[in-house]
Amino acid sequence: MTLVTLYGQYVSHIAKYFITILDVYVSVPPAPADIISAPVNDTAFVLRWTPTLTEETRPYIKRYAIAYNKVGSSVKGSVEVDHRSNSVTIASLTADTSYRVKVRADTHTEEGVYSQPSRVRTSEYSGHTTLPKQGSVS
């Protein structure tokens, strides 16, 4: 009788474990919200978002994936950041160019839903910094 009871509890634990795994597998994280982007300089911009926080997915978010491309171009870039981050700087871009960016949260088993695309434009090329002439003080 004791063995059966222990076995029953063991089966109950296994069933609970598989139900938890199934819940994680089926729960696709919603899109991050409040996407804010701003140019940093002529070849970079910073992107911030409100993290994906739902009771079902919060403990299982593994990373945020950011996709971007020049407006009108099919060539895409992507970056991934740790789940604890809610911002990223994307560099090595073209000056004075509009980009489309979107963010999604991923779990260990599922890719989330991308946010609505946001547009950001890098700054105009500012030219080279000129050094003062030798002997002059600024």
Residues 3-32 pLDDT 10s: 444 444 544 555 555 545 444 444 788 899
pLDDT in tens, 27-65: 788 899 999 999 999 999 999 999 877 677 777 889 999
- The answer to whether residue 93 sits within a structural domain is yes
Residue 137 falls within a domain, yes or no?
no
Indicate which CATH number applies to the domain containing 66.
Answer: 2.60.40.10
Six-digit token pair at 88? 């990223």
Residue 105 included in any domain: yes
Q: Is 5 contained in some domain?
A: no
Per-residue CA distances from 72 to 18, 52, 55, 69, 108 (Å): 45, 29, 38, 8, 32
State the pTM of this model.
0.70
Does some domain include residue 77? yes
Look at residue 98 and tell me if it is in a domain.
Answer: yes
Number of domains making up the chain: 1
Question: What is the extent of the structural domain holding 41?
Answer: 29-121
The encoded tokens of residue 25 equal 């597998």
The 10s digit of each residue's pLDDT in 77-96 is 999 999 989 999 999 999 99
